[in-house]
Chain A
Amino acid sequence: MIAEFGLAALWLAAALAALQLVAAWLGQRQGGETLAMLVRPAAVTQALLCGFSFLMLLWVFARTDLSVMLVASDSSSEKPMIFKIAGAWGNHEGSMLLWVTIMALAGGLIALIEHRLPEKTMQATLGAQGFLGLGFYAFLLFASNPFTRLFPAPAEGNGMNPLLQDLGLAMHPPTLYCGYVGLSIAFSFAVGALLTRNVTPDFARVMRPWVMGAWIFLTIGITAGSYWAYYELGWGGWWFWDPVENASLMPWLAATALLHSASVLASRDALRTWTVMLGVVAFSMSMIGTFLVRSGILTSVHSFAVDPERGTFILVLLAINIGGALALFAARAGTIAEGERFSALSREGALVINNVALSAVLGIVLLGTLYPLVTEAFGVRVSVGPPYFNPVSAIFVFPMLLVLAVGPLLRWRRDSFARIRTPVIAVAAVGVVVLLAVWLISGIGFLQIFGVTLAAVVAVAAFLPLRGRSLKRLPLPVWGMCIAHFGIAVALFGMSVDSAFTVEKLTAADVGQTVDVGPWKVRLAAVEPVAGPNWTALSGRLLVSYKGGPAHELVPMSRTFWAPPQTTSESALLTRWNGQLYTVVGGGTTDGRWQLRLWWKPFVTCIWLGGFLIAFGGFLALIGRVAADVRRRVATRKIADRQAEVAALA
């Protein structure tokens, strides 16, 4: 019965999304006030029902109810509980239900707490959210039902892809989805603002925490996903420009741009049209990414159950949602009043450059991702990789980072160079010294030299906005900005140094043989069989020592799972403050030698450390904004109470 409860709740949630849409639509008309009052309760109820449906799915997976087709095809009774539960979203249907659930919960939350916008705009926003939701409910119910029964029930399930049986991966999709789907709120706010012709600083203020929250989740999701790919796939790389990675990077770029332009709109009432456009684009990128991944039209390491019918369904949703929003934008963009003006040398000016550069990188990534599709349409097969993405995006990223170093020092509206001369010269001096030092000492490539130099410049410049301010009284969002910008420097440093100084060693070694890789000596001490809960493995026992220091033991494995049958390599890593030793053991040769892949990657950990610092900065800024908002609400209520008291006394 559990699966049927889940399905029923899903149908009801879909019905409420329809009600939410219709009530919002008709409620906008004269005399529709009663109907309009239904919008918020409908959104909240829809969220509860959808959440209930998702809980039911978790339940059937936790119990391994093999009479549910999805459980039988993607799970098995022989795996740890945590992976049984994570199995609920480790497949197409379940992950789409997770997607819709997050979307419904976010919509319910704004219906519950958001009262700053004019009610009409708010209803239009919730109506748009209902419309988006309705499309995805239809997709679930008609093309991807997670609760379909299987009769007769098999004795055992097919099991889950072994690569996915990993804790990092269990948390990866929910995190990314919170990011992707959180942007749907920004999309709905943009549509609501366009429909009711109400693009104001308030619109940006209301939207900002949602964009910020979604952006934090995306940042964490991408960073964690990159680290997961790094240690789980055993290829030693941390970013492959794979279509699915790009699908997560594109919404992140759009959200980063949106975050900054929403700041300008919120504090200065400028960049109105642009901010609305980005609000539409950010979630559109999430949807296009989902389509690219789920339809299987691009070749990627991320495989989902691919089905052209589902692809067609998402494509239609895509055309209606994004096409509709863009058409609305085209119709209304002319009516959006021009915002405040500003001079080129101002904080707004710097943020415009940031936005243009981020959008350019977004365009480059989009083009590179889709280019194989375009040529394939003409019968030519190509694949686009790092030789395109790295240098071409660097053309825009590097100047953007220079602006990032200076921008936060500028005043709003208008500034003069004379005022910021000292810090700019100081930062430039740091840059020149590092550039010369790196260039003379190491013989590394251009991109890497500039990368290291810019990392140093941004690292120093990140904290310049703190100059001359009381650190105690500094608002949290400013701390957040400094830390996030510093995180970019840390990540860039890691990327540049890793790509410049990584040492690789591929060899087939005898047991007892010692192999050198960079400053490390690695001895293959033994190869032993190991048995796990649902796998067996050959594990290599490696004794490694750094520059003749004490030996540490590393145990990389080559695991063989039996449900479904597949071999994966489990890398073993040794982390030092200045980098990581990465070891993988592969299959054996007939004469008893073993394939070893070893990498010494200096400062590679900085990449993910930087990513998490960026997310942490965003988190501080979000806390700061929400706290300020709560304080403001409390204060307004107090004033209102006080006025009521005074009136009563009089």
Chain B
Amino acid sequence: MKGVRWSLWVLIAFFALIGLFALQLSRPKDDTVQSTMIGKTVPQFALPAATGQNPGLSSTDLADGKPHLLNVFASWCVPCAAEAPQLAKLQRAGAPLVGVAVRDQADDLTAFFKQYGNPFTRVGEDKVSKLQFLIGSSGVPETYVIDGRGVIRHQHIGMVRPEDIPDLMARLKEAQG
């Protein structure tokens, strides 16, 4: 009767699985993959400067008491070039922008900034998508609202369009209070 006992466990596990499937099947499906880090503090990190123009970026820079917009981008990414005017507009409106260049090269970045402008006060170099992974970003471009204590308040997935600017400014203001 030895065989029977473990096979009963298999049977029970199987029906637990069926129950789980049934539960999930009855729920509506949401397919956007939001970062699970929203509402949490950015883990400790220190990225070197991506180009000579700006200093690098570390977690202490984010927790300096003021909220920030953190833009995850790359020079090889076409939507990132397309959102440049919107980032410039945000900067003019007084939003403190910091950047993380993902899987990029210094020369390419310098050319990119020359072409599209550099709205950032700091730009960290993330050669192996380390920070991207830490903050739960699944692609470029993405823009995060981070409050003065370094807590992620909001994640904007994809390019910043002109109509997104008021929303981002409002969230930045909210993060201040």
| Contact surface of A with B, Cβ cutoff 8 Å | 273, 277, 288, 291, 295-297, 299, 306, 308, 311-312, 315, 318-319, 322-323, 326-327, 329-331, 333-334, 336, 370, 373-374, 376-377, 380-383, 504, 506-508, 586-591, 595-597
Contacts and interface: CB of A to CB of B under 8 A. Distances in A.
B34 A330 contact: no
A463 B90 CA distance: 66
Given A329-B7, A508-B78, A595-B77, A323 B34 contact: no
Q: What are the 10 closest A-B residue pairs judged by CB atoms, nearest first?
A: A333-B3, A506-B76, A330-B7, A326-B11, A297-B24, A334-B4, A334-B1, A587-B78, A333-B7, A311-B25
B134 interface: no
Contacts of B74: 506
Contact of B21 (A297, A331, A382, A589): A297
14 contacts: A288-B17, A308-B26, A312-B25, A319-B18, A322-B14, A326-B14, A331-B4, A373-B21, A377-B24, A381-B33, A383-B33, A506-B76, A507-B108, A595-B76
Interface of B: 1-4, 7-8, 10-11, 14-15, 17-18, 20-26, 29, 31, 33-34, 36, 74-78, 81-82, 103-105, 108, 112, 115
Taking each of B29, B31, B34, which has the highest tally of chain A beta carbons within 10 Å of its own beta carbon?
B29
B14 A323 contact: yes
Q: Looking at A288, A311, A589, which has the most chain B CB atoms within 10 Å of its CB?
A: A589
Contacts of A330: 4, 7-8, 10-11
B160 to A, nearest CB: 16
B66 to A, nearest CB: 30
B3 A315 contact: no
In this complex, the member of B17, B31, B105 whose beta carbon has the largest number of chain A beta carbons within 10 angstroms is: B17
Contacts of B24: 297, 373, 376-377
Given A297-B24, A333-B4, A376-B24, A315 B18 contact: yes
Contact of B33 (A299, A377, A590): A299
A497 B25 CA distance: 41
Nearest to B105: A507
Contacts of A336: 3
A597 B78 CA distance: 12
Given A288-B17, A506-B103, A508-B81, 16 more contacts: A277-B10, A295-B21, A295-B25, A299-B31, A311-B25, A315-B22, A318-B18, A323-B18, A330-B7, A330-B10, A333-B3, A373-B21, A377-B20, A380-B36, A508-B112, A589-B81
Nearest to A280: B10
A319 B78 contact: no
B20 A589 contact: no
Contacts of A590: 81-82
B18 A326 contact: no
B3 A591 contact: no
Contacts of A295: 21, 25
Nearest to B8: A330
Contacts, number: 99
Contacts of B76: 506-508, 595-597
Nearest to B112: A508
A588 B76 CA distance: 10
Contacts of B36: 380-382
Given A506-B76, A507-B108, A589-B81, A315 B11 contact: no
A308 B25 contact: yes
A594 to B, nearest CB: 9
Secondary structure at the B interface, as helix, strand, loop or mixed, is helix
Contacts of B1: 334
A297 B29 contact: yes
Contacts of B4: 330-331, 333-334
Contacts of A331: 4
Contacts of B23: 377
A329 B14 CA distance: 13
Given A506-B74, A508-B76, A291 B21 contact: yes
B21 to A, nearest CB: 6
Contacts of B14: 322-323, 326
Nearest to A319: B18
Q: Which of A296, A327, A377, A507 has the most CB of B within 10 A?
A: A507
Contacts of B77: 506, 595
Nearest to B3: A333
Contact of B15 (A323, A374, A591, A596): A323
Given A297-B24, A507-B75, A319 B15 contact: yes
Nearest to A594: B78
B35 to A, nearest CB: 10
Contacts of A377: 20, 23-24
A315 B23 CA distance: 11
A508 B75 contact: yes
Given A374-B20, A381-B36, A273 B11 contact: no
Contacts of B7: 277, 326, 329-330, 333
A595 B105 CA distance: 14
A291 B20 CA distance: 13
Contacts of B81: 508, 589-590
Given A311-B25, A334-B3, A380-B36, A373 B78 contact: no
Contacts of A588: 78
Nearest to A387: B133
A48 to B, nearest CB: 35
Nearest to B133: A387
A178 to B, nearest CB: 26
Contact of A508 (B8, B17, B25, B108): B108
A333 B3 CA distance: 5
A429 to B, nearest CB: 36
B14 to A, nearest CB: 6
A315 B15 CA distance: 11
Contacts of B18: 315, 318-319, 323
Contacts of B82: 590
Nearest to B1: A334
A374 to B, nearest CB: 7
Contacts of A306: 29
A381 B34 contact: yes
Nearest to A303: B31
A19 to B, nearest CB: 29
Contacts of A382: 36
A595 B78 contact: yes
A273 B21 contact: no
Identify the interface centre among A327, A508, A586: most chain B CB within 10 Å of its CB: A508
A621 B27 CA distance: 47
Nearest to A374: B20
Contacts of A376: 24
Contacts of B8: 330
A338 to B, nearest CB: 9
A41 B82 CA distance: 67
Nearest to A595: B78
A590 B78 CA distance: 9
Nearest to A292: B21
A383 B77 CA distance: 24
Nearest to A318: B18
